[in-house]
Amino acid sequence: MASIIVNGGRPITGEIRVGGAKNSALKLMAAALLAPGASVIRNVPDISDVTLMAEVLSVLGARVTREDHSVLVDATDITSVETPYELVAQMRASIVVLGPLVARFGRARVAMPGGCNIGSRKIDMHIHGLEHLGVNIAFEHGFIDATAPEGLKGAEVLLDFPSVGATENLLMAAVRAEGATVIENAAREPEIGDLVDMLVAMGVQIEGRGSSTLVVHGARELSPVVHTAVGDRIEAGTYLVAGALGGGPVTVTGFDPAHLEMLLTKLELVGCEVAVHADGATVRREGPIRPVDVATLPYPGFPTDMQAQFMALLALAEGNSVITENVFENRFMFADEIKRMGADIDIEGHRALIRGVHALQGAPVRSPDLRGGAALVLAALVAEGETVVSDVHHILRGYEDFCGKLASLGADIRMIEE
């Protein structure tokens, strides 16, 4: 088990380039299953979730090779349509192979994801959507058994909620359906637009990119492609919040600042100066941190994946702030940990009341999940004394060279293996 040790109080300033989006790269790799031949995904981050997705694809028979930040997926000889529990249990996003497998082979068996530490995270919308497209679904021995012996049929699917994963699974299932599929109330996250771009390049006609209505005209044959993943707006947002906490200036490049508009607006409201560039943004703060209310919502709302990092910032505000979490239940485990560093936070249901304190103190804390773990490290950068963040395998799932990048901004930070 690895831990990150931070000695707080160093100035945080400089420039960082972010990699491709984790939440895009994983789905683009799955999309490669749709076409026989070798697809190449560029700008893929070197993180453990990508290693796991490579393993998922390998178990199915795909040949996966990684070089630098490119991943080649040769999906010519898929020998199995079954994704085992030990992989799905480690990474819920593995469920995204369901759509492409059933589209190309008319069959998929994917282990049911278990509970998760950020809420129950149901998959009902994935299942109902696939059923609308003519897929028979059975739940057997812990597996979702999806079959479409007659092929998939285009249909209209209205999602209860703009679920990112359900939109992606349905998009990838619909690409081989007969006729048009309309996905209403689709998620609009930039990573969905990225997946649409890859599918279009593979030969599918899709209307409505970036909107909540996607129309997919199924294609008979798809071709492999070379595709570059969109920059990681959440990785970028994490380093921008580090700049806001430490004062900066911190410049982050490698992403489209339009994808972080809501976060950048909130950073201005807390008292930061934000400058937007073609390929990134710069944040600096001279005055105190002002309190501000935040509500997480599907894109273009405030991203739930930035909620914990922003809470770390508000923990040091001059006054009280409220964060309302509308996307996931139980996504406040981070609050209990940062309270151990002196933060004053009360949770009631899906609301957190954060009473700003003057300073945080270094303490031993535990990463509750990926973003919560990153947020604890951010808090540690400005805390008094030493913080030891344990269970950092969560952080390594989604941040490439987290310690190295923060050290390049001046942080006194190191990772140790215990």
**Sites of contact with ligand UD1 (CB under 6 A):** 23, 26, 93, 119, 121-126, 161, 163-166, 187, 304-305, 327-328
Least distance to ligand UD1 from the beta carbon of 165, Å? Answer: 3
Two structure tokens written together for 234:
């959440």
Work out the end-to-end distance of the chain between its first and last CA atoms, rounded to an integer number of angstroms: 6
Q: What is the spatial distance between Cα 365 and Cα 51, in angstroms, rounded to a whole number?
A: 27
Q: What is the spatial distance between Cα 93 and Cα 269, in angstroms, rounded to a whole number?
A: 34
Q: What is the spatial distance between Cα 220 and Cα 293, in angstroms, rounded to a whole number?
A: 49
Least distance to ligand UD1 from the beta carbon of 83, Å? Answer: 15
The residue among 32 and 166 lying less far from ligand UD1, judged by its C-beta, is 166
The residue among 101 and 360 lying less far from ligand UD1, judged by its C-beta, is 101
Two structure tokens written together for 295:
């509500």
The residue among 203 and 208 lying less far from ligand UD1, judged by its C-beta, is 208
Least distance to ligand UD1 from the beta carbon of 47, Å? Answer: 12
The residue among 91 and 376 lying less far from ligand UD1, judged by its C-beta, is 91
Options 65, 116, 277, 279, the catalytic residue: 116
Least distance to ligand UD1 from the beta carbon of 328, Å? Answer: 5
Sign of CA dihedral 385, 386, 392, 396: positive
For 193, the enclosing helix (H) or strand (E) is: helix 190-201
DSSP, res 36:
S
Q: Which residue has the tokens 């008094």?
A: 384
For 54, the enclosing helix (H) or strand (E) is: helix 48-59
**CA dist 308 → 76, 256, 329 (Å):** 41, 22, 13
What is 221-267 written as a DSSP string? -----EEEPPB-HHHHHHHHHHHHHH---EEEESS-GGGGHHHHHHH
Which residue in the shown chain puts its C-beta closest to ligand UD1?
165
The residue among 93 and 110 lying less far from ligand UD1, judged by its C-beta, is 93
Query: 291: cis peptide before it, omega within 30°?
Result: no
Least distance to ligand UD1 from the beta carbon of 76, Å? Answer: 26
Torsion of CA 45, 391, 356, 234, to 10 degrees: 10
The residue among 161 and 213 lying less far from ligand UD1, judged by its C-beta, is 161
The residue among 69 and 188 lying less far from ligand UD1, judged by its C-beta, is 188
Least distance to ligand UD1 from the beta carbon of 118, Å? Answer: 8
For residue 403, indicate whether it is catalytic: no
The residue among 125 and 177 lying less far from ligand UD1, judged by its C-beta, is 125
- Cα angle at 119 between 117 and 122, to 5 degrees? 115
Q: What is the largest CA-CA distance in the chain?
A: 65
Least distance to ligand UD1 from the beta carbon of 331, Å? Answer: 9
Q: Which residue has the tokens 């003057």?
A: 358
Contacts of 180 (CB under 8 A, 6+ apart): 154, 215, 216, 217, 218
Least distance to ligand UD1 from the beta carbon of 361, Å? Answer: 30
Radius of gyration in angstroms for the set of CA atoms belonging to the chain, rounded to a whole number = 21
Q: What share of the chain is helix, strand, coil (3-state, %, to 5)?
A: 35, 30, 35
Two structure tokens written together for 321:
């702030």
Catalytic residues: 116
